[in-house]
Amino acid sequence: MKTCMSTSGRACRASARRSGFALAIVFVAAAALGSLRPTRVASQDHNFAGSVQTNYLWVATDPDAREQTFDGFTNELSLKVAVDFSDAVSANIKLCYGCHGVELGMAFTDLRVLDELNFRAGRFSPSFGDFPLRHDPANHLTADKPLPYDMGRMLRLREFNLSVLPAPYVDQGLEINGTHWFGDYLQLDYAAYLIGGLRGGQDAVDVDFMESRQPYYVDNNSEPAVGGRAALTWDATPDMMFTVGASGMAGHYDPKRELEYVLLGADLYARLYTLNLHAEYLVRRTQMALGDDPDSRFRYGPGGSGEYDDFFVKDGFYVEGNLPVTRRLELVARFDGLRRLGNVTINSPLRSRSVVLRYTAGVNVVFDGSVRLKVSGEVYDFSDFDDEVAANVGFVAAF
Amino acid sequence: MTTSGRLWLLLLLSSAWAAGSCASQLEARRGDALDVSGYPPDVQAAYDVFAVRCSRCHTLARPFNARITEDAHWIRYVARMRLQPASGINQKNGEIILKFLLFYTAELRRQEASEGAPPDIPRPPESPGWTDSEPEPPTRQVDAGVVEPAPPGETGVDSGAPSSDTAPTSPPAPALGRDS
């Protein structure tokens, strides 16, 4: 540390204060790092996991279904490595291959200071909703995903521009999360995060989900989106468990940060002996660029106020139950829907209120060695298109 | 055949290979269905806790196929899972789940050793994951790779894999590393 021989007393005191402050920061940082040191074992633990699902989608009512979805064979592969550096530090890396090509599904590090305080940095699925917890094809029991989270399996996917939030939604950023138990029965989970956010083009009228997966993974508008989640779990009995959760996310999706989106969700999970019930509702309010000449851009004219609405709302829900009836047989039933409310572009086949409801019933055959055959039938009830009947036959292995 | 056709063929073959790899491990990797009727009653009870909590976000194939070989690794693994959102795994349940997983791993190890195959799940020389507050359970080494429970009369609880000529016994439930 410098002496004060050649400086004035005031400058010397200021310098000493700065030095003391810097020392205090170093001390606190060292103490924090010290608290993160491995408590018992210095070695790393590696765990490899993966899954592969091959699915055949047959649309019985449309011989040219490729015009409205990815029918026929599709394949999804995921490979994941989890590394526990210590009790407090771990990292996860996951590579996926699907209809959109190769994707980095996870690349993040967790720093756990307490059960109630975990820092997650990197590329991850921000905490939103219940389904993303089990989005991997090996972890959910239908070949496709619920409509609010669909990413390329639903019929008329292009007309609806996919779902409310295609899962897995992966982004870069920082998340602070934690969990706390109140006694032995109530668990509170929470998370808050800053991420790049949904992306879209200049003067856009909706989010472009392909942009979220464009290499390289960079933000498009120099402004993070913000979000969070809270969930309360009641561990009622050894055979019964209930979770209720709420999620939110908001930000701008265009390069000029003029178009805003707000995404909200609520979810419910119940475990009643061997019966699993999931229910969720998602809604996204998305601002649209009206442009210089809205008359030529939009199908519907201005409202009663004489002005064009500059937003639309897309919401969706699902209710799903699954029940293992024997050690090798599972029943799955699902009712889900997706709705878009608001003005549409002049060429859109949708109306200002477009709805799709879907009814799904399925049977899974469980083989030893964690291989499942998923068979399901689906009936689509469209408000703006002909109704469709489809079937999925999926073969999934977790390894 | 076109390039995309070859790609699809490659993916299908990869899928078949992956599925075949899983299916060929029927004894060691039992998928979602595990018959625990031959396990000690306390481990059967622990399995029930495990089966409910650990199928919340994934199928039970995940932990069964994890191929984790060291107790310390399981301790960290369960501690990490316990902190997953809505896991329903509190400290007490975590220890019960760990009790089952350690017994399951030891049982796999015993099966593989008794089949004469070179054990690919080596028994660690000691269980490094036990917490400081909990003494190392007394055991005696019988032969390479197999640890037999200590004879009656010694203090402590049973530990490790049962030998092939003894009834299955359950390991203790070690404490998880980090507490709230």
Query: Is residue A1 situated within a structural domain?
Result: no
Rounded distance between C-alpha atoms, residue A46 and residue A66, angstroms? 41
**What is the tens place of the pLDDT at every residue in A161-210?**
999 999 999 999 999 999 999 999 999 999 999 999 999 999 999 999 88
What is the ipTM score, two decimals? 0.76
**A189 vs chain B: nearest CA distance in angstroms?**
6
Among A113, A124, A179, A366, the residue to mutate for chain B (most B Cβ within 10 A): A179
Q: In one letter, which amino acid is A317? A: F
Q: Decide if B52 and A49 are in contact by the 8 Å CB cutoff.
A: no
A274 lies in the same domain as A182: yes
For residue B20, give every residue at least 6 positions away whose Cβ sits within 8 Å of its Cβ, in sequence order, or none: none
Residue A71 has pLDDT above 80, yes or no: yes
A31 lies in the same domain as A117: no
Answer whether the bond into residue A216 is a cis peptide, omega within 30°: yes
Alpha helices in A41-137 (DSSP H): none
Range A253-266 average pLDDT: 96
Mean of all residue pLDDT scores within chain A: 89
Residue A367 has pLDDT above 50, yes or no: yes
A18 lies in the same domain as A132: no
Instruction: Closest CB to B33: pick one of A127, A271, A327.
Output: A327
What is the count of structural domains for chain A? 2
A139 lies in the same domain as A24: no
pLDDT value for B60: 86
Tokens 């979602």 correspond to B32
A126 lies in the same domain as A27: no
A144 lies in the same domain as A13: no
Model confidence at B116, pLDDT cuts 50, 70, 90, reads: low
Contacts of B52 in chain A (CB under 8 A): 238-239, 241, 271
Query: Is residue A351 situated within a structural domain?
Result: yes
**B85 vs chain A: nearest CA distance in angstroms?**
6
Instruction: Closest CB to B85: pick one of A127, A327, A397.
Output: A127
A13 lies in the same domain as A49: no
Range A360-373 average pLDDT: 87
Range A26-42 burial, b when 16+ CB lie within 10 A, else e: eeeeeeeeeeeebeebe
Instruction: Closest CB to B29: pick one of A41, A269, A370.
Output: A370
CB B71 within 8 A of CB B95: no
Helix H or strand E encompassing B6: helix B3-23
CB B29 within 8 A of CB B59: no
Model confidence at B100, pLDDT cuts 50, 70, 90, reads: very high
Domain boundaries, position A251: 37-398
Instruction: Closest CB to B178: pick one of A52, A112, A235.
Output: A112
For A275, phi then psi, to 5°, come to -90, 130
Rounded distance between C-alpha atoms, residue B61 and residue B19, angstroms? 13
Query: Is residue A356 situated within a structural domain?
Result: yes
For residue B100, give every residue at least 6 positions away whose Cβ sits within 8 Å of its Cβ, in sequence order, or none: B43, B46, B47, B49, B50
Three-class secondary structure of residue B110 per DSSP: helix
Contacts of B53 in chain A (CB under 8 A): 241
Range A140-179 burial, b when 16+ CB lie within 10 A, else e: bbbbbbbbbbbbbbbbbbebbbbbbbbbbbbbbbbbebbb
A329-341 and A311-324 strand pairing: antiparallel
Contacts of B59 in chain A (CB under 8 A): 138-139, 370, 372, 398
**B76 vs chain A: nearest CA distance in angstroms?**
6
Compare all CA atoms of chain A with the CA of B68 and give the residue at the minimum distance: A47
**B66 vs chain A: nearest CA distance in angstroms?**
7
Model confidence at A382, pLDDT cuts 50, 70, 90, reads: very high
A16 lies in the same domain as A75: no
Query: Is residue A381 situated within a structural domain?
Result: yes
**B48 vs chain A: nearest CA distance in angstroms?**
8
Short-list B93, B155, B148, B146, CA closest to B123: B146
A27 lies in the same domain as A42: no
Instruction: Closest CB to B57: pick one of A41, A133, A233.
Output: A133
Range B44-66 burial, b when 16+ CB lie within 10 A, else e: ebbbebbbbbbbbbbbbbbbbbb
Query: Please, is A336 exposed, middle or buried when counting C-beta atoms within 10 Å of its C-beta (0-12, 13-18, 19+)?
Result: buried
Range B156-163 average pLDDT: 39
Rounded distance between C-alpha atoms, residue A194 and residue A207, angstroms? 18
Residue B163 has pLDDT above 50, yes or no: no
Highest mean pLDDT among A129-133, A278-282, B127-131: A278-282
A187 lies in the same domain as A322: yes
Rounded distance between C-alpha atoms, residue A378 and residue A394, angstroms? 14
Higher pLDDT among residues A42 and A179, named by residue: A179
**Judged by CB atoms within 8 Å, which residues 115-174 of B form the interface with A?**
128-129, 131
Short-list A387, A364, A376, CA closest to A139: A364
CB B128 within 8 A of CB A39: no
Range A25-47 average pLDDT: 58
Query: Is residue A2 situated within a structural domain?
Result: no
A295 lies in the same domain as A350: yes
Contacts of B57 in chain A (CB under 8 A): 133-134, 139
**What is the tens place of the pLDDT at every residue in A210-230?**
887 776 788 889 999 999 999
Rounded distance between C-alpha atoms, residue A149 and residue A152, angstroms? 10
**A163 vs chain B: nearest CA distance in angstroms?**
22
Interchain CB contact of B7 with A (< 8 Å) = no
Q: Decide if A52 and B18 are in contact by the 8 Å CB cutoff.
A: yes
What CATH number should be reported for the domain holding residue A355?
2.40.160.10
| Neighbour count for residue B160 (Cβ, 10 Å) | 25
Contacts of B79 in chain A (CB under 8 A): 87
Sorted by where each starts, the structural domains of chain B and their CATH numbers stand as: 24-149 (1.10.760.10)
**Judged by CB atoms within 8 Å, which residues 76-105 of B form the interface with A?**
76-77, 79-80, 83-88, 90-93
Rounded distance between C-alpha atoms, residue B45 and residue B96, angstroms? 9
Lowest-confidence segment of A77-91, A247-261, A265-279, B65-79 by average pLDDT? B65-79
**A134 vs chain B: nearest CA distance in angstroms?**
5
